[in-house]
Structure formats: structure tokens, C-alpha cells
Amino acid sequence: WDLGGARSSTSSFPQIQNKPLGSPGEQGQITHAHNTVSNFKRFHGRAFNDPFVQKEKEKLSYDLVPMKNGGVGVKVMYMDEEHIFSVEQISAMLLTKLKETAESNLKKPVTDCVISVLGTAFDPFLGGRNFDGKLVDYFCAEIKSKYKLDPKTKVRALLRLYQECEKLKKLMSSNSTDIPLNIECFMNDTDVSGKMNRSQFEELCADLLQRIEMPLLSLMEQTQLKVEDVNAVEIVGGATRIPAVKERIAKFFGKDVSTTLNADEAIARGCALQCAILSPAFKVREFSVTDATPFPISLLWNTEAEDTEGVHEVFSRNHAAPFSKVLTFYRKGPFELEAFYSDPNGVPYPESKIGRYVIQNVAAQKDGEKSKVKVKVRVNTHGIFSVSTASMVEPVKNEECEDVSVETEVEAQDQRPIENFSDKNIQQENSEAGTQSQVQTDGQQTSQSPPSSEPPSEENKIPDVKKTNEKKGDQPPEAKKPKIKVKNVELPIEANLVWQLGKDLLNMYIETEGKMIMQDKLEKERNDAKNAVEEYVYEFRDKLSGPYEKFVCEKDLQGFSALLAETEGWLYEEGEDEAKQVYVEKLENLKKLGTPIEMRFQEAEERPKLLQELGHRLQYYATIAGEFKNKDEKYIHIDEMEMMKVEKCVSEVVEWMNNAVSAQAKKSLDQDPAVHSSEIKAKLQELNNVCEPVVTQPKPKVDSPKEENPLSEQSDYKTEDMGDDKNSEMPQQNGECHPSDQNTINMDLD
């Protein structure tokens, strides 16, 4: 996508292309190549002087510059001024535009989203774009040799070549014969051509194809699976359509690969499913997805001796996330923790450091002993590591207990450290620790005691209640274990992050983007106003030589046509980049001449239909009035005075209509009408309001007299002598039983 949107018409805004790194897309159609930013994801987390950045810089249509912090910046023209934006800002612009696009289609506000991030095992330099690059390099050399032209010296030419090479790659995936490459007016009005087949392409990309196996081996190692354990393999992504890539994957797993999913949409569909799982508005089948930390993370700290360092891996590779752990340190003063990725070679970026965290306000206890400091480290749901909280445990005096929230610690005689590191002054509380460990995850804290292979000692067995009661009288009471009341004092943490935005810088970026969004809105309104003038000029000019031709006199036609032509020329010259209000005023001036013409045309279209409808209603009410005079049974119930109102109203409207038709007949089509459609509608409404309630009066209801029938009134009652009349026959019921029969049938009822 070219996300310039409304910006593209003025070329004052930078454009952002949302295309994956594997496919440059329709770059040949970019109107402002130097001001269009694409393929920038790989620059995240890298310094400007990184060799990879310097190598990629040569292939880009826009300029990369160093930021103050050493990161990668993008130089573009914004509002006719040169601006430098960080890669993070460019990514935020893209997400903002995607959010607007989603809201426009959904007709609802978007507040949350799911973004897919590759993990587990992958090669960041093995994708569709790398295969395209092989073709581009090959044809650049061929064109330079054959036509004495260097595409790399012209940005537009290079982008067109990328586009054509991507098409060629797709064609070779479905055809093994020679595929031609033809580009007209490539450089200096020169047409270039070439050809390639699948075998040549695979030979050209042999080094890329050899690298396919390494991520697969890493994947099997990390998941601790064997190839035989894999039942099916589904491949997604544009590059998997290359036959050689399919063959390598199928050969590794020893089975055919499946392509039932849409290779381009599979990731988006997965994100949509995750959105449905997280959203309360959808109900999906219950299943859980556990995210993992793809790279192991360790902590480094200085010991009290200052001559040695302590180090510990807090999160191993593929550790579940989100997850929190609590580390316990014993210190007399502030200390520093350094977080880094344990395996620098396994991280696809040159920088392995995450950041430094200074635990502040740590002081020794009053007796000079070291204070107990608990530090909570966390990998959140987004996979971001942080030292989230730190607290110092202080003993509380008795008089302070009433005012301070305290914890109670029991001093056991045989208390053992939870886990020993190289630094004896640190303990860890987590799910991987030894006996008496604690786990803290997502606000839930549960105690875990791993099962012991040895039977519990006598000291740890639960005593028999009876035996205890028997010996209780013979033994002196046990002394209570001393309790120490403590409180946790929150400690401030100073975080110095590597390649992560500080709060001040982040707030500045947010403020800058807010201003740009507002400027976008104003620019869209300005462009809409300009487009409205342009649309009015073209539309009216066509209609003046068509349906509007009869509704304007020759003099006005010449003057208005000249104004339209003048406005068109102004739009593409001095009026190309004017303020919104200028365009609004231009449109108003045009409408002063155009609206009367448009009105005459619309009146001529509507007036005959309305007059015809009015005539039908007049005839309808006049007919009813005539039937009333003839004593028609349908209307004889209507009061004579009411019907006289109908006759009067019909007579007046007929007279008005005749006068209006007569006056309009004297007007030509290029003159304003003598009677407007709105007046006819008003007369029609007036006629209906007066006549309709009268002619639709219902006839009064007449109650019919009731006939007296004494016999029918007594039919509901039985006479006393009916049962005694032995000669009378009664209707027989089921079983030929008579109601008056003395011999009743005995029945057993359940």
C-alpha cells in the first residue's frame, strides 16, 4: 500500500509503504520515490553505522541519516520542509494509518490490535526480497553490459526493475520455460529486455537455498522434537511458492508439504483469531496459546568486593511469557543490574545489551548489617523485559506496628538459603528454585514445594495426636519461636535502556505525531476543497453542452464557460497550492452562476410531474363532490357544510393552477420559472389537508335490534322431568351407557 493517501496530491507529506520486506510491491508506480519510505523494519534496533544498514542504504529510494542517539533516521520533505524522523516514528505513522483504515472499514473505533512477531527459529536475511535482490543484481549487470546503462544510478529505474523482477520470479514459480523481461523507456527512453528460466534462477540463488535447512534444524532443536514426530507441515509466506524452497522443506521433513492456507493471508488470519480470543465480543473454541521468550536473558551485577561480578540467567530460551521472578539481594547501598541476551550470536541484531537498572535508596540496617532487597524482573505479554519493582525489607519496632503495614518472618533454627549463586548475597524466588520456592506470575503468587525422593525425616513427620496428648503432661511447654515484624519499602529504579525510547523522547514523539495528525486533517480538508472546485468545473462544463444547454442564454453561456476555463487554468498554475478558504471562495463564485442554471433544469424536470399529480387529486375530490350532490350512498353521511369546504378548496386550487400554468407558458427555459416545485408541493399539501379528512369520514355504526328467544335462554338448563321420562331416548355415550342408568359401571382407576 502507498499510504500517502490525501497527501499524495500535493507531494508535501512523506509517504509510507506497508509492504513486507519480502516484496517491494508496486514501487514502480510511486509518484514521489524520494519521499516514499518502505522496507524499514530491519532498521529497528540498529545503529546507523551498522554494516547491514550501510549495505541496505544503497538500495533505498530515500535517504538514511544518523540520529543523535546513533540510531537510524529517515530524511524526507514534510510540508515543503526537510525533516528527519526516526524509524520508530515511521513505524508509528504506519500503524496510525492502518488504524484509520481499519476504523473506516469497520465503522467502529479501534483501541487494541495484535501484531505478529517472528520467533522460535528464523533467518532475517532469507526472504522473498533476498530472492528478488539476486534477480535485480543479475539484470543490473546484464543491462550495464548490453545497453551501457546503470540502473543503480537512477532510483526510479531501480524500483521499476525490482517490480519487474518480482513479477518474473512469480512467473518462474509456475513455468519452467524461458520467461522474458521487457521494460519500455527504462532509462534515457531506452527499452531493455532479458530472459531467465527456473533452472538459472535456482542456480543464481543456490546460496540462499542452502540456508533454508539451518532455521529448520534450530526449530527442531528448540522444540525438542524429531522429524519423525512431525505429522504434517504447512508452509506460508510468499517465498514458499518458489518450487526449490518447497523441495528443500519437503526433503528436510521427509514428507510432502501442505499449502491449504492462503500463503499471504495466513498470518493476518492468525492475528484475527488472536483478536477474537482476546475480545469479549467473540466466543471461540477454548484453547490456550503460551508465548515464549525466544532469546535467553541474563542479569549481571557487581558484588560488594567490587572485584568480582555475579551473573545469572533469569529467563532461559523459550521460557513461558508473561512471567515474573523475584531475586533477593543483600546490600548496604545502591547497586546496578545489567540485563543482556545470554547468547549474543543467537540474536539477529548486533546489540545484545538490554539496559542498566540502578536500584536506588538502598541503605544498611541500623545495626550495620546488609539490608534485604527484593527485585522483581518481568517479561510482559509483549515479550519486553524490565526490572519492574524493587523493595527493601526493614524490621519494624513494636511502637511502629500499629501504624505500618507489616509482614511477619519466623526465624527457624535450621533455615537454609533457597539457591546459591556465585554471589552469596543473592537468592532467587521463582518456579525453578529449590525447596520452599515461590512463583510470581501475573499478579498471582503460589507456593511450590517440589517432591522429595527421600522419605521425610522424623522431625518433619506429622505427630500422632494421641501420643502427643499422652506425653503433653510429662513435658514442659515448648518455647515460642521468636517473630520479627518487617515492612517493605519501595525503592526507585533508574532505567537506562538500550534502543528503547525514554519517557521524555516518547512523549515528544507522541506530541509530534499528534501535530502531524492534525496537520493531516487540515491538509485533507484543503485537498477536498480543491478537488471540489476541480470536480465542479469538469462536471458543469460537460453539462453545459448537454442537459443544461437549453437552460442558459447565449450571453450567460459564453461568460460562464470562460469563467470555468479560467478557473481550470488557475487550478494547475498559481492556484495549485492555495489555502482551503481560497478554494471555498472560488467554488462559491462559480455556484453563483451555476446554481440558477442547475435550478432551472431541476424545476423543468420536477414541475410537470407535480402539476400532473395535483391535477389528479383535484379531479379525485371534484368527483366525490359530484357524487355527494347525486346522493350517492357512499357519501350521504357527510355533513353538507363540510362538503362545501371541499368544493371551495378545489375551486380555489384549480384557479391557482390555471394561472400558474398560464404564467409558466410565457417563460422560456433559460428564464427563472414563474412557479416553483416547492409552491406546487405546498398547494398539494394544502388541498389534501382540507379535503382528505372530509371525504374519508367513516359511516356511523347502526346497532341492529336484538331478538328475544326465551327457549334459547333456558336451553342451558336441564328440566327435572327429563330423567324420569322412560320413553325419551338420550344420546348414547361411549360404552352405550345412559347418564340416568342406575347400574353404574365399576372401574378401577389408577
Q: Which residues contact 687 (CB under 8 A, 6 or more apart)?
A: 614, 617, 618, 621, 649, 650, 653
Q: Which pairing describes strands 371-379 and 323-331: parallel, antiparallel, or unpaired? A: antiparallel
Q: Above 50 in pLDDT, residue 423?
A: no
**Rounded CA separation 127/579 (Å):** 46
Torsion on CA atoms 468, 471, 474, 480, rounded to nearest 10: -20
The pLDDT of residue 7 is 32
Q: Which residues contact 468 (CB under 8 A, 6 or more apart)?
A: none
Residue 66: all three cell numbers together: 544518523
Query: Percent of the chain at pLDDT above 70?
Result: 77
Q: Above 90 in pLDDT, residue 263?
A: no
Query: Percent of the chain at pLDDT above 90?
Result: 53
- At position 443, the amino acid (one-letter code) is G
Range from 202-211, 327-336, 413-422, 711-720 carrying the lowest mean pLDDT: 413-422
Segment 407-413 shows an average pLDDT of 41
**How would you classify residue 117: left for phi > 0, otherwise alpha for psi between -120 and 50, otherwise beta?**
beta
Segment 167-179 shows an average pLDDT of 93
Q: Above 70 in pLDDT, residue 470?
A: no
Nearest to 639 by CA among 676, 684, 694: 694
The pLDDT of residue 653 is 95
Q: How far apart are the first and last CA of the chain?
A: 82
Range from 39-48, 235-244, 410-419 carrying the lowest mean pLDDT: 410-419
**Rounded CA separation 129/735 (Å):** 95
Range from 82-91, 446-455, 558-567 carrying the lowest mean pLDDT: 446-455
The pLDDT of residue 699 is 85
3 state DSSP class of 739: coil
- At position 294, the amino acid (one-letter code) is P
Of 165 and 25, the structure prediction assigns the larger pLDDT to 165
Residue 485: all three cell numbers together: 515484624
Q: Above 50 in pLDDT, residue 704?
A: yes
The pLDDT of residue 120 is 76
Segment 209-220 shows an average pLDDT of 93
Q: Above 50 in pLDDT, residue 291?
A: yes
Query: Which residues on neighbouring strands pair with residue 319, listed in sequence order?
Result: 293
pLDDT in tens, 309-326: 789 999 998 899 999 999
pLDDT in tens, 626-685: 999 998 888 889 999 999 999 999 999 999 999 999 999 999 999 999 999 999 999 999
The pLDDT of residue 605 is 94
**Rounded CA separation 244/115 (Å):** 30
Phi, psi angle pair for 710, to nearest 5°: -60, -35
Range from 300-314, 670-684, 717-731 carrying the lowest mean pLDDT: 717-731
DSSP-derived secondary structure for 169-207? HHHHHH--S-EEEEEEEEETTEEEEEEE-HHHHHHHTHH
Segment 598-607 shows an average pLDDT of 95
Assess contact for 371 and 392: CB atoms under 8 A: yes
Mean pLDDT value across the chain:
80
Q: Which residues contact 96 (CB under 8 A, 6 or more apart)?
A: 513, 517
* Residue 340: how many other CB atoms lie within 10 Å: 21
**Rounded CA separation 87/93 (Å):** 10
pLDDT classification of 458: cutoffs 50, 70, 90: very low
Segment 330-356 shows an average pLDDT of 91
Nearest to 125 by CA among 244, 41, 248, 17: 41
Tracing cell 362538503 back to the chain, one arrives at 643
pLDDT classification of 13: cutoffs 50, 70, 90: very low
Q: Above 80 in pLDDT, residue 332?
A: yes
The pLDDT of residue 270 is 87
pLDDT in tens, 129-157: 899 999 999 999 999 999 999 998 888 89
The pLDDT of residue 481 is 60
Residue 117: all three cell numbers together: 512477531
Q: Above 60 in pLDDT, residue 295?
A: yes
The pLDDT of residue 479 is 57
The pLDDT of residue 289 is 78
Of 461 and 605, the structure prediction assigns the larger pLDDT to 605
Among 250-259, 288-297, 717-726, name the most confident range.
Answer: 250-259
Q: Above 90 in pLDDT, residue 368?
A: no
pTM score of the predicted model: 0.65
Nearest to 18 by CA among 83, 80, 84, 100: 100
